[in-house]
Amino acid sequence: MNSNEIKVFCPATVANVSCGFDVLGFALDLVGDEMIIRKTSNYGIKISKISGQKLPLETNKNVAGVAGLAFLEASPYSGGFEIEIHKKIKPGSGIGSSAASSAGAVWGMNELLGRPFSTLQLVEFAMQGEKLASDVHHADNVAPALFGGFALVRSYNPLDVVAIPTPTALFVTVIHPQIEIKTSDSRKILRTTITLQKGIRQWGNLGGLIAGLYTEDYGLISRSLEDHIVEPIRSILIPGFDEIKKAALESGALGCGISGSGPSIFALSKGKAIAEKVAEAMAGVYKNIEIDFDVHVSKINAEGMKKL
């Protein structure tokens, strides 16, 4: 690879993390897409190749293209970029497929130009890709993909992202039933108002989760992984959700919930051995009800994007 080209690992991410709808997410190790980005003398973004999934090559219909254009428009650079996307994360799986492509594109471009933009600015550009994919500028996948670890979107206007430390023994199990749920569809079914009582429970839990992550208090993390607002509605779309959650908790998971807008389900555990036991228990439920699935056990990825 020369200095005009970069190969990037773009991590999958779990958004919402039960109590942090639209404001909290974390990045996964090992599970992610790969992208190759090259500088070109022509201005503009060209998606030259996509493998692994059927996705549009037209720049303005592709999330990486749209995020890349937002980057380019804000940059004094007069050239352009060519992008190859090698998808390993299935779109509509709930582990940040569009975010990996959007964030990977702008991260790679920023590296090639000597980092003219801050990570926060890259989040803003990548959010344009999320807008194309889901109709909403949510940052709870792109922020952890770019910052690594857990990232909290404290505010959207102005954008304010806080990188939260990751407890060293924390592992995630993610199970993906082979059905597709579009984020835009699973947002349409949500209510737009909540009661004060539900708000109190949710922000108590979100504060508790953040405090637990800072202090490596696994008990507090476990007590805080609750969602009484979104999960009861969205879980109806996910086959076997209640059984999977029960199996995960009985196997020792700290908590279990919907990954992003689903259908993937995540569970957090203290230590790899428990996370693997949880994976087995979750897989057992889907084997019983004959649903095809993928399951991953991963450390939390503290770095985010990586140069390969």
Does position 141 interact with ligand HSE (CB under 6 A)? The reply is yes
Residues 6+ apart with CB under 8 A from 238: 177, 181, 258, 262, 263, 265
Task: Give min distance, CB of 196 to ligand HSE, in A.
Answer: 22
Rg (CA), the chain: 19
Task: Give min distance, CB of 126 to ligand HSE, in A.
Answer: 13
CB-wise, 17 or 85, nearer to ligand HSE?
A: 17
Looking at 13-21, 47-55, 171-179, 249-257, which segment touches ligand HSE (CB under 6 A)? 13-21
Which one of 46, 187, 198, 228 is in contact with ligand HSE (CB under 6 A)? 187
Choice among 13, 173, 183, 231 that is catalytic:
183
Looking at 43-51, 119-127, 137-145, 148-156, which segment touches ligand HSE (CB under 6 A)? 137-145
Does position 173 interact with ligand HSE (CB under 6 A)? The reply is no
Task: Give min distance, CB of 101 to ligand HSE, in A.
Answer: 13
CB-wise, 45 or 127, nearer to ligand HSE?
A: 127
Residues 6+ apart with CB under 8 A from 188: none
The single-letter code of the amino acid at 205 is N
3-state class (DSSP) for residue 151: strand
Is residue 193 annotated as a catalytic residue, yes or no?
Answer: no
Q: What's the CA gap between 191 and 250, in Å, rounded?
A: 31
Site for ligand HSE in 51-110 (CB under 6 A): none
**Tokens 């450390």 sit on residue:** 299
Does position 140 interact with ligand HSE (CB under 6 A)? The reply is yes
User: For ligand HSE, which residue has the nearest CB?
Assistant: 260
Q: What's the CA gap between 123 and 77, in Å, rounded?
A: 19
Looking at 133-141, 198-206, 215-223, 270-278, which segment touches ligand HSE (CB under 6 A)? 133-141
Q: What's the CA gap between 252 and 231, in Å, rounded?
A: 20
Task: Give min distance, CB of 276 to ligand HSE, in A.
Answer: 25
Site size toward ligand HSE (CB under 6 A) is 11
Residue 97 half-sphere exposure, CB side, CA atoms within 13 Å?
26
Which one of 18, 128, 173, 183 is in contact with ligand HSE (CB under 6 A)? 183
Peptide bond into 263 cis (omega under 30): yes
Site for ligand HSE in 209-268 (CB under 6 A): 260-261
Choice among 130, 166, 173, 226 that is catalytic:
130
The four Cα atoms 122, 15, 28, 95 give a dihedral, to 10 degrees, of -100
Residues 6+ apart with CB under 8 A from 79: 39, 40, 41, 42, 43
Does position 16 interact with ligand HSE (CB under 6 A)? The reply is yes
Is residue 111 annotated as a catalytic residue, yes or no?
Answer: no
Task: Give min distance, CB of 48 to ligand HSE, in A.
Answer: 27
Pairing verdict, β 44-51 and 80-86: parallel
Which one of 87, 131, 138, 270 is in contact with ligand HSE (CB under 6 A)? 138
Question: What is residue 90's DSSP assignment?
Answer: P
The secondary structure of 27-67 as a DSSP string is: EEEEEEEEEEEEEESSSEEEEEEEESS----SGGGSHHHHH
Does position 15 interact with ligand HSE (CB under 6 A)? The reply is yes
CB-wise, 127 or 275, nearer to ligand HSE?
A: 127
The site for ligand HSE (CB under 6 A) is made up of: 15-16, 21-22, 138, 140-141, 183, 187, 260-261
